[in-house]
A and B are shown apart, each in its own frame.
Chain A
Amino acid sequence: MSVSNTVIEAKNLCKTYIVNKHQNNVLKNIDLKITEGEMTAIMGPSGSGKSTLLYCISGMDRVTSGEVNFCGRNITKLGEKELSQLRLDEMGFIFQQMYMLKNLSVLDNIILPAVSSKKNTESHRKTEERGRALMHRLGIDDVSSNDINEVSGGQLQRACIARSVINSPKIIFADEPTGALNRSSSDSVMNELLMLNRDGTTIMCVTHDPKVAAKCSRVLYLIDGGIVAEKVLGSFGGSETDLRTRERELSNWLMEQGW
């Protein structure tokens, strides 16, 4: 795994909501760098601003002040259309709830970003083949023509992963990807993400689960809208022993942060 180029860089990032004339500073002067090939976990108590940070640096939400550079390009200055294009071609998203379009089959949901991308010049048929291959790799090829309510949560989340990588994005943003899954489904989803990361995809993931965070190379800890601590775990080897060691190390660190 190469750790060289900066994919995301946030400088002095602030996000403020005004509710009933009351100012709520959700993110306060955040500085952050995510380099290519990293798998970063963002942890913190509820309401600390984890998801907001994810949405702000991915361009899904507008920042109040500060700068977010994606591959050296300041995305806070981009218009909606350019941001959409960027999300379509360069980023992938996975959410806690397995959001998919109800009127499309699982396979069609997966290939939707690809057929919508101007960058993609291949035929629909070819894209479909690619989608099937991706589903096969994720072990869900048997549900390709199913409706989304005909598959399990784990299968659906793997389909969401397939959708997020169909356009070979530079980075995948995952907001509690295993939050709605049981342990075995959760493990299987994380394994897929790890595989993608090993293939060179940068991953940034918001999680409450230390088991999930333990598989990441770096963990950022947020409290009240600010990054208060950072833990570098290094690459995960994949063995059960390694995982237990990392989990223990992370738990100790989290307890130090008041987790």
Chain B
Amino acid sequence: MLWRILKKDLKRKKTMNIVLLLFVIMCSMFASASVSSIFAVTGGIDSYFDMADVPDLIIQCAYDSDIDEQAAKLPEVKSMKVEHHLTVLDSGCFTLNGKKFDNFTNIARLMNSSERAITYFDEDDNVLAEPAKGEFYASLIFTQDSGLNKGDTVVIRIGETELPLRFMGRFKPVVYGQSSTEYPYLMLNEEDFRKCEKDPVFKSWASKYLFIETDDTEAVADRFKDQRDSWCDTRDERKDIYLYDMIAAYLMMVISIVLMAAGFVMMRYTIGFTISEEFREIGVMKAVGISNGRIRRLYITKYLAISVIGAVAGFFLSIPLSSSMLENISMNIVFDKGSSMINGLISSVAIVVLMMLFCYFCTRRIKKLSPIDAVRCGQTGERFGKKSILHLGRSKLPTTGFMALNDVLSAPRQFIIITLVFALCILLVTSISVFSRTLKSNNIVNYFGIPDSDITVGDITSLEDVFAGKGMKKTVEKYNKLFREKNIPAEASISIGAQYETVKDGKKAMITYLITAGGDDDGYITDEGCNATKPDEVVMTRRAMELIGAGIGDRVKMTIGGVERELMITGSFSSFMGGGKTARICSQYEHDADKIDNTFGLQVKLIGDRSDEAAEKYIAELKMLFGSEKVFSNRETVEKITGLSSTMESMKQMMMILTAIVTALTVVLTERSFISKEKSEIALMKAVGISDGKIILQHILRFVIISVLAGAIASAAMLPLSSAVLDWIFSMIGDITGVTADYNAAEVFVLHPMIVAVTSVVCSALTALYMKTIKSSDTASIE
């Protein structure tokens, strides 16, 4: 008998069952896709490193260093492989169809394919094939924005060498830097590599990488950490190069969780709604003596059928969604697709289980319904709370507007759920938009160690005097003189970081020291205390201080220029540099040339007019002056440093589309539920002479009200939430707090809420057309 009732129910309540099925599909799709990406991201780097056979320790040293011989003698070293990298200092040495490359700022590194110490993968995640003579593979930093296509011939022209090479595709350099300020890598055939090796011009800044398997990582690392000309990273430390990818992935994870939550909220609403709609059937069943348990079983069986069908459909639909979610991240990382599929499958099964628990929870209402409900149309008269808050007679609103507002206020719970779903979607888009814009803003330039300036000359050759040991101050003077000669109203400055061992009470740590020549020593933002303006002063990040157990006012020791210095910590500051383990000392110091670790090039501060227009004008002049295209505004510089901005932009676009889809689905499904629920009222309104147009408008206006409300909630929550998200993300990158969020008011307060509002209006209008099928004469035949 129950089966017969169920069969009839599925047939009779086709629309509501389809509505529920769509929500289950949506939920299962988002859950499956997000769980796959969550697993892929959290365990992704580890499994990628396993696939690539990344060993315990990686040491970078000078090309002709003997560190590899020293390491080989250590008893802790189980095995060691060595890779030699040659360098091409300027991107202009590469040409494609006669045009010089200008898409990267750093030194390009050439690798020998037959010397691979670890496994590299191509862009399709296959193990990288051996390039034949005259062929090469390149990393993303080399290929992006270059117009390079497979089969194109790139010519390396440097010194006496001219080497034409055919591009065979992109490869993922696993343990080498991924952000756009890192080195681009080219994988060459051994013969081509050896040809370059013969020309000494390829060997300036050339290096050697040791890949060490060891029983005692700490001991080997300690042995080489203090060695001049070398950097030592454990496998875990190397994972930091994927920090920006991980941030993007975590953001994607947050998006998935929110979308999944939205799906569940809507599903719960739909189940609750379908049960409340069935008060008459439930009442009649109770009246004839069917037990609560049996009635509940009936509904749970129905939802089990729907959830199984929905979960299976959702799982298959999640496969392309999951791929698109991981698309940006998988540019650099190889994901284990097999386990990702299994995770998706598990999550789909979890959806079915969750659905069942959900149904059990939602069907509690059955207990409350009595046979009286069947008789009294669900209105037992026990509820005496006021429903109508507004009064038509006292309202200044047009009737349709009043009716819509009154509907929303009379059933706040159901509308609040939809409002919150909309607000969450808007908030997600705005948060990503704010993050993306902040990443490009001048607000964070300082945190990258870039002094107050307007333009950056990113061509590393502009600092060759510094690398040659001629000093930062002299280089700055040279450029200031040049600017005067060329009538460019500007001052030059250079900010460079270098790692020095710092000691406090015997506690040692490698800390990145920033020195800026040409800037104002007292012009930097400190979080606490004051800037280091004297030779015996230093400001440090909290993270750096923690490393050596120091605080403001303490004295630390470091050696620079061959002299041991005792410096007093005068304050703390925030920095993205050196993983937040950073210090700043005054401009009287010069770095040891061999320790120079990072720089963003030459900074140019305009004197007088510092507008964007002026910057644009002088950028053009400086490009001519330096013979390089790598002259950027500060905004572009930060964008290039993080490389996250474009990912964020594409995430934002994706989120906007997803928001529109979730809004559309929510509106279509809830509006369809409303029509079904309010069939008698619609018929009545038609019977008393209210036109179709006005009733449709009333329904549209409900969603407009919800959208406006959601927009207002999202706008109010946007700034505090964005600041919290920014603090969380920036604390992962460096030691940063209190970054001011940068946002485009028109985009955040108008465009994003408008997406939801416009989608709501269009979808509710189209769905509301269905009410045309309800006739005024239906008034008499509705239950």
Contact = CB atoms under 8 A, between A and B. Distances in A.
Q: Do A and B come from one complex?
A: yes
Interface of A: 51, 55, 60-61, 80-81, 84-89, 91, 93, 95-97, 99-105, 107-108, 111-113, 115-117, 124-125, 127-129, 131, 145, 147, 149-150, 163-164, 175
B395 interface: yes
A128 B393 contact: yes
B383 interface: yes
The 8 closest A-B pairs by CB, nearest first: A128-B393, A88-B689, A87-B689, A103-B410, A108-B392, A61-B777, A55-B777, A84-B691
A125 B392 CA distance: 9
Contacts of A131: 393
Contact of B391 (A85, A103, A105): A105
Contact of A103 (B379, B407, B687, B688): B407
Given A87-B687, A99-B683, A103-B410, 8 more contacts: A81-B692, A88-B688, A89-B689, A101-B684, A108-B388, A108-B391, A113-B690, A116-B694
A156 B399 CA distance: 22
B685 interface: yes
A60 B691 CA distance: 12
A103 B674 CA distance: 13
A99 B679 CA distance: 11
B43 interface: no
Nearest to B776: A60
A107 B692 contact: no
B688 A112 contact: yes
Nearest to B400: A116
Nearest to A163: B688
B780 A124 contact: no
6 contacts: A87-B687, A103-B388, A103-B406, A104-B388, A124-B392, A147-B388
B689 A102 contact: no
Interface string B362-394: 000000000000000001010110111001111
Contacts of A51: 780
Given A61-B775, A116-B694, A99 B388 contact: no
Q: Name the residue among A95, A131, A149, A150 with the largest chain B CB count within 10 angstroms.
A: A149
Interface residues of B, number: 37
B681 A128 contact: no
Interface string B667-707: 00000000000001101111111111110000000000000
A113 B392 contact: no
B691 A102 contact: no
A147 B386 contact: yes
Contact of B387 (A88, A99, A103): A103
B780 A112 contact: no
A145 B384 CA distance: 12
Contact of B399 (A81, A86, A112): A112
A105 B775 contact: no
B436 to A, nearest CB: 42
Contacts of A164: 688
Contacts of B4: none
A31 B336 CA distance: 80
A99 B684 contact: yes
Residue among B384, B407, B686, B690 having the largest count of chain A Cβ atoms under 10 Å = B690
B692 A84 contact: yes
A93 B681 contact: no
Contacts of B410: 102-103
Contacts of B392: 104, 107-108, 111-112, 115, 124, 128
B393 A125 contact: yes
B779 interface: yes
A116 B689 contact: yes
B411 interface: yes
B396 interface: yes
Nearest to B783: A97
Nearest to A82: B691
B393 A107 contact: yes
Contacts of A91: 689
Contact of A147 (B387, B685, B691): B387
Contact of B688 (A96, A113, A129, A145): A113
Which interface residue of B684, B685, B686, B688 has the most chain A CB atoms within 10 A?
B688
Contacts of B395: 124
A149 B685 CA distance: 18
A115 B691 CA distance: 13
B393 A150 contact: no
Contacts of A99: 680-681, 683-684, 779
Contact of A101 (B685, B691, B779): B685
Given A84-B690, A87-B688, A149-B381, A101 B393 contact: no
Contacts of A93: 687-688, 779
A57 B680 CA distance: 21
A129 B391 CA distance: 13
A116 B780 contact: no
Contact of A116 (B387, B399, B684): B399
Contacts of B777: 55, 60-61
Contacts of A101: 681, 684-685
Contacts of B780: 51, 55, 95-97, 175
Contact of B393 (A60, A96, A102, A127): A127
